[in-house]
Amino acid sequence: MARKEIPIEELSIDPAVIDVLKLAKEKEYETVWDRLKRQSPHCKFGVQGVCCRNCIMGPCRITEKTPRGVCGADASVIVSRNLIRALAAGAAAHSDHGRAVAVLFNEVAHEENQDYRITDEAKLKAVAKRLGVDTEKPILEIAKEVAAQALADFGKQDEKALNFLKAYAPSKRKETWQKLEEALFSQTGKKMGVLPRNIDREVTECMHRTTMGVDNDAVSLLIHGVRTALADGWGGSLIATELQDVLFGTPNKKTIRANLGVLSKDKVNIIVHGHEPILSEQVVEAAMSEEMQQKAKQAGAKGINVAGICCTANEVLMRRGVPVAGNMIHQELAIMTGAVEAMVVDVQCIFPALGRLAKCFHTQFISTSDRARFPGAVHIQFDEKRARETARKIVETAIEAFPKRDKSKVHIPGVVAEAVVGFSVEEILNMLGGSPKPLVDAILEGKIKGVVGIVGCNNPKVKHDSFHIALTKELIKRDILVIGTGCWAIAAAKAGLMQLQTQELAGEGLKAVCKLLEIPPVLHMGSCVDCSRMLVLAGALADYLKVDISDLPLVGSAPEWMTEKAVSIGTYFVASGVPVHLWPAPPIGGSPEVGHILTETIKDLLGGYFFVEEDPQKTAEIMENIILEKRKAF
């Protein structure tokens, strides 16, 4: 049955979105919701994960009447293969981002790039110390050794675990992974590695194992999925976060503005969208320069306004306080305001639909990465070695578009909220006086019952931001601290949940702690790769208490997820010992065996597990029960 017409008010809880959607309807601009409607109903084989097209004897679809593909693969093998292929794609996305940062950092260490520098020497020394690098040396010598270890994690060929995982994962968790490898071998007689050896290798091996006629054992496939996800969380994503902090500064507490109302009616608006701060840092820098501000004035504007969308937004708001125009679903709506001179994109979560839409306006849709091309985009190749020059060219292109703005088309919703952001692990520890003890004490005393980390996306199948916000409010009411990243964090910022006044929505215990620390009960920890910050925080608490992460009252959630990256994130949290909630349901319904492994069997192996729930209220109840159960053994 086709998806029925849903009233505009039912598509989002964000008034700015509703406002622009009404305009879209009137002007017949196409949106993500229109395309979802046309794509519905979705293919049930795809939804259940039982369609395989891994070789050309197929595609094969599993039903009761056809329980095996042409090669003989059954539903469990096909579902597992599809799942870990998605996971590998997600891990690859985060890790390719991490590689770009590691390569740039190596160039800076070797003085081969004059456009970037080491901004945060204290963070560099902290990273070096973890990696066992002598920190008494000159800064660039330390940087060279850190860079060598980071790059080795992408290319070393030995069987040892990743350098960054060994340096950052808490002791008990490393023992858990080691013991699991031994137990799997003794119970099955099959060697199944859990500890990742090399980020690229684990992704490649996922692809190899899932080709026709290689790994045809659901457990073995899923365990390799765990290994690949760990290579992302404690490898690629962590390297991205840590080295970005060294290059651009470790985030600290600051107040920012969020939602489409941050766009200016009389300035040149540049939106940076995607994921990598390497480019956006330079665009912000160039836009702030006196020369570019003057050029904008000569073009008739009052100046230049840079705002972000998606995780590029999270990167520049955490470090520089740049305002955020919205989360993933805002990308088309921002252009529809008619006030965006340039939509500058790098990689990931960028709709290919933007090219066609931008042509209805004066907006320059500028792609910048040789890995990410889009129909209808102007391509300005970003070259790290000529970063300032490229950033200036991008800003100039935006300025040149300003006089072409059609004022009659400008429609900026006056919706904006303030948010307190910038909660890196360093900033959290700093506020706690340098040690996790006050947080641990608050948890032990029950003022804070536990912590939930919420991540991820928007998905038009879910009323935009509704699950994010309802779940967050429900949790803080129950004295559960909420931390998170990605488009959830932008949703929370837009909804005003990151203001200090939100303390009043929290339970008495959490409220008292937040008042003492002058923080909201909902903490923005950054972008998608910054999910690694949550792992590091969990690791710090576990090591402080000399327990495993799975002993802590922590739960994760991806309540409006859509990307393959979320499959990897969810899996590395589960593999690190954290129960993880998902909505929408992942495409595994075609195999009860795989469902059972991921929701039950895995509990005994890793401590973490997945659960699926559609209702935010019930999700909060389940999470509280998990937390209360964990607290009993605490």
For residue 256, the 8-state DSSP code is E
**Among ligand MSK, ligand SF4, none, partner that 58 touches (CB below 5 to 8 angstroms by kind):** ligand SF4
Residue 71 interacts with ligand SF4 (CB under 6 A): yes or no: yes
What does 57 interact with, of ligand SF4, ligand MSK, none (CB < 5 to 8 A by kind)?
ligand SF4
Residue 59 sits in the site that holds ligand SF4 (CB under 6 A): yes
Residue type at position 109: A
Q: What is the smallest separation between the CB atom of 329 and ligand MSK, expressed in angstroms?
A: 9
Q: Which of 23, 55, 429, 517 binds ligand SF4 (CB under 6 A)?
A: 55
Sole window of 53-61, 190-198, 475-483, 556-564 interacting with ligand SF4 (rule: CB under 6 A): 53-61
- Indicate which of ligand MSK, ligand SF4, none lies near residue 565 (CB less than 5 to 8 Å, by partner kind): ligand MSK
Residue number with CB closer to ligand MSK (326 or 539): 326
311 binds, options ligand MSK, ligand SF4, none, Cβ within 5 to 8 A by partner type: ligand MSK
Nearest distance from residue 202's CB to ligand SF4, in Å? 21
Q: Quick one: which segment of 65-73, 252-260, 263-271, 468-476 binds ligand SF4 (CB under 6 A)?
A: 65-73
* Nearest distance from C-beta of residue 53 to ligand SF4, angstroms: 5
Q: Which is nearer to ligand SF4, 63 or 625 (CB)?
A: 63
- 211 vs 625 by CB, closer to ligand SF4: 211
Q: Which stretch binds ligand SF4 (CB under 6 A): 17-25, 64-72, 338-346, 502-510?
A: 64-72
Q: How many CB atoms lie within 10 A of CB 56?
A: 8
Is the CB of 16 or the CB of 311 nearer to ligand MSK? 311
Q: Which residues contact 493 (CB under 8 A, 6 or more apart)?
A: 256, 258, 324, 417, 419, 421, 524
Give the binding-site size for ligand SF4 (rule: CB under 6 A). Answer: 14
Least Cβ distance, residue 296 to ligand MSK (angstroms): 28
Nearer to ligand MSK (CB atom), residue 280 or residue 293: 280
502 binds, among ligand MSK, ligand SF4, none (CB under 5 to 8 A by kind): none
Q: Which of 25, 40, 44, 57 binds ligand SF4 (CB under 6 A)?
A: 57
Beta bridge partners of 343: 271, 365
Residue (212 or 628) nearer to ligand SF4, CB:
212
Beta bridge mates, 305:
269
Contact status: 69 vs ligand SF4 (CB under 6 A): yes
Q: How far is the CB of 386 from ligand MSK (least distance, A)?
A: 27
Phi, psi (deg, nearest 5) at residue 359: -65, -20
Q: Report yes or no: 32 and 460 within 8 Å, Cβ to Cβ.
A: yes
Q: What's the CA gap between 211 and 219, in Å, rounded?
A: 16
Please say whether the beta carbons of 281 and 308 come within 8 A: no
- Give CA–CA dist 311/557, Å, rounded: 18
Give the residue carrying structure tokens 């991806």: 558
Q: Which stretch binds ligand SF4 (CB under 6 A): 63-71, 251-259, 277-285, 604-612?
A: 63-71
- Binding to ligand SF4 by residue 54, rule CB under 6 A? yes
User: If contact means CB under 5 to 8 A according to the sort of partner, which of ligand SF4, ligand MSK, none does residue 192 touch?
Assistant: none
Q: Which one among 20, 73, 523, 566 touches ligand SF4, defined by CB under 6 A? A: 73
Q: In terms of CB distance, is 53 or 117 closer to ligand SF4?
A: 53
Cα 278 to chain centroid, rounded: 16
Number of C-beta neighbours around residue 486 at 10 A: 35
287 vs 455 by CB, closer to ligand MSK: 455
Partner from ligand MSK, ligand SF4, none binding residue 433, C-beta < 5-8 Å depending on class: none
Q: Is the peptide bond before 59 cis (omega within 30 degrees of 0)?
A: yes
Which CB atom, from 142 or from 350, has the smaller least distance to ligand MSK? 350
Q: What distance in Å separates the CA atoms of residue 273 and residue 364, rounded to the nearest whole number?
A: 13
Burial class (CB in 10 A: 0-12, 13-18, 19+), 156: middle
User: Is 101 or 143 the residue whose CB approaches ligand MSK more closely?
Assistant: 101
Cα separations in angstroms, 168 against 58, 137, 171, 537, 579: 43, 22, 9, 10, 20
* 206-225: contacts with ligand SF4 (CB under 6 A): 212
Which residue number, 95 or 216, has a Cβ lying nearer to ligand SF4?
A: 216
For the CB of residue 571, give the shortest distance to ligand SF4 in the complex, in Å. Answer: 22
Dihedral, CA of residue 23, residue 355, residue 383 and residue 119, to nearest 10: 20
CB nearer to ligand SF4: pick between 1 and 56 = 56
Residues 6+ apart with CB under 8 A from 432: 438, 439, 517
CB count within 10 Å of CB 561 equals: 26
Q: How far is the CB of 236 from ligand MSK (least distance, A)?
A: 14
When asked if residue 300 is in the footprint of ligand SF4 (CB under 6 A), the reply is no
Cα-based distances in Å from 543 to 221, 239, 329, 435, 439: 31, 20, 38, 12, 14
DSSP assignments along 457-499, one per residue: ---TTS-BTHHHHHHHHHHHHTTEEEEE-HHHHHHHHHTTTTS
70 binds ligand SF4 per the rule CB under 6 A: yes
State yes or no: residue 52 binds ligand SF4 (CB under 6 A).
yes
Residue ranges in contact with ligand MSK by CB under 6 A? 275, 310-311, 327-328, 349, 456-457, 486-487, 527-528, 563, 565
Going from the C-alpha of 230 to that of each of 87, 94, 165, 542, the distances in angstroms are 11, 12, 8, 18
Is 372 in a helix, a strand, or coil?
strand
Q: Which is nearer to ligand SF4, 47 or 360 (CB)?
A: 47
Which residues, in sequence order, are CB contacts of 517 under 8 Å at separation 6+? 431, 432
Local structure of 231: helix, strand or coil = helix
Return left, alpha or beta for 347; rule: phi > 0 is left, psi -120 to 50 is alpha, else beta: beta
What is the pattern of x (binds ligand SF4, CB under 6 A) and - over residues 75-94? Answer: ---x----------------
Instruction: Extract the tokens encoding 498.
Output: 């990151």
Q: How far is the CB of 562 from ligand SF4 (least distance, A)?
A: 25
Q: Indicate the residue among 47 and 148 with the shorter CB distance to ligand SF4.
A: 47
Q: Which region, judged by CB under 6 A, interacts with ligand SF4, from 71-79, 240-248, 369-377, 542-550?
A: 71-79
Between CA 461 and CA 42 the distance in angstroms is 11
Contacts with ligand SF4 by CB under 6 A lie at 52-55, 57-60, 69-71, 73, 78, 212
